[in-house]
Amino acid sequence: MTAAAPVSAPVAGRPRILVVDDHCVLLDALSFVLAPVYDTQTVDCLQKLDAALNTFLPDVVIFDNSMPEGNAIGTIQRLLRKRPELKLILLSMQSDATLARRASDVGAHAFLPKRASSDELLRVIGTVLSGGHCFQPYNQLSAQPSTAPSGLTDRQRQVLRLIALGLSAKEIANHLDISVRTAEFHRATIMERLGLRSTALMTRYAMERGLV
């Protein structure tokens, strides 16, 4: 049985999404959901993956964790060695915090349980295409009181959460009814107290502690 073909012809300028799963019914369903928004191609085994990467040139690969031919984490590492710019979303039948953490550690951009809705899938893809990350089960299972950011005031925790959600200093200022200068001051203070030197690191720190 072969995997579904792309639902629609490529449209110039649309992001390209490659879906890798050994269940063809799921591939058909994902193609149906994604095709109105993205150029989509599917493959049903790892043997076809490299050829699809070279010919389709995807921006994002949505990858099933339980492909029968290989280890998902090892495959992610191999793909990123070949194409470091590739954005990878790992799908799993289970909300496994350990697997989500491992996927994050090796460079994946998102982890999503297969029980997620199509709207959630589209939101995660949009986040990843914008340079963000999403590791839901890791966030939810890691959100223990002992992991709350230490040394931050309540206001600074609010600012950190908004930074992790992608808001600019002006948007944070409007949201919290403070000045832009104050929002920027809070950002600088948070970075100093936590020893974090980039927005990406702040975002990951907040996600790991269940703030988003």
The answer to the question of residue 165 being in a domain is: yes
Cβ(89)–Cβ(30) under 8 Å?
A: no
| 28/110 same-domain check | yes
User: E strands of the chain, at which residues?
Assistant: 16-20, 39-43, 60-64, 87-92, 110-113, 134-135
Q: How many CB atoms lie within 10 A of CB 174?
A: 13
pLDDT band at 136 (very low <50, low <70, confident <90, very high): low
| 90/111 same-domain check | yes
Last residue of a domain, one of 97, 125, 142: 142
Residue 163: C-alpha distances to residues 18, 133, 184 (Å)? 30, 13, 11
Q: How many CB atoms lie within 10 A of CB 153?
A: 13
Q: Region 128-133: what's the mean pLDDT?
A: 86
Helix axes 154-164, 180-194, angle to 10 degrees: 90
| 88/160 same-domain check | no
The structure tokens listed for 129 are 């295409």
Q: Region 75-82: what's the mean pLDDT?
A: 87
Closest CA to 43 of 66, 62, 20: 20
The per-residue pLDDT for range 5-42, each reduced to its tens digit, is: 444 445 557 899 999 998 888 899 999 999 999 999 99
The answer to the question of residue 94 being in a domain is: yes
| 49/132 same-domain check | yes
Cβ(51)–Cβ(66) under 8 Å?
A: no
The answer to the question of residue 26 being in a domain is: yes
| 176/187 same-domain check | yes
What's residue 141's pLDDT?
Answer: 34
Last residue of a domain, one of 142, 167, 194: 142
Residues in CB range of 86: below 8 A, 6 or more apart: 53, 58, 59, 60, 61, 79, 80
Dihedral sign (CA 180, 183, 187, 189): positive
Last residue of a domain, one of 109, 142, 175: 142
The structure tokens listed for 98 are 């350990």
| 203/100 same-domain check | no
Q: Which residue has the higher pLDDT, 105 or 36?
A: 36
| 64/96 same-domain check | yes
Count of the separate structural domains present in the chain: 2
Structural domain including 92 reads 16-142
The structure tokens listed for 46 are 């790892």
The CATH number of residue 193's host domain is 1.10.10.10
The answer to the question of residue 119 being in a domain is: yes
Query: Tokens 């995997």 belong to which residue?
Result: 3
Question: Is residue 30 within a helix (H) or strand (E), and if so which, with residue range?
Answer: helix 24-34
| 63/104 same-domain check | yes
C-alpha to C-alpha distance for 123 and 137, rounded to whole angstroms: 16
The answer to the question of residue 33 being in a domain is: yes
Whether residue 91 is predicted with pLDDT greater than 50 in this model: the reply is yes
pLDDT band at 67 (very low <50, low <70, confident <90, very high): confident
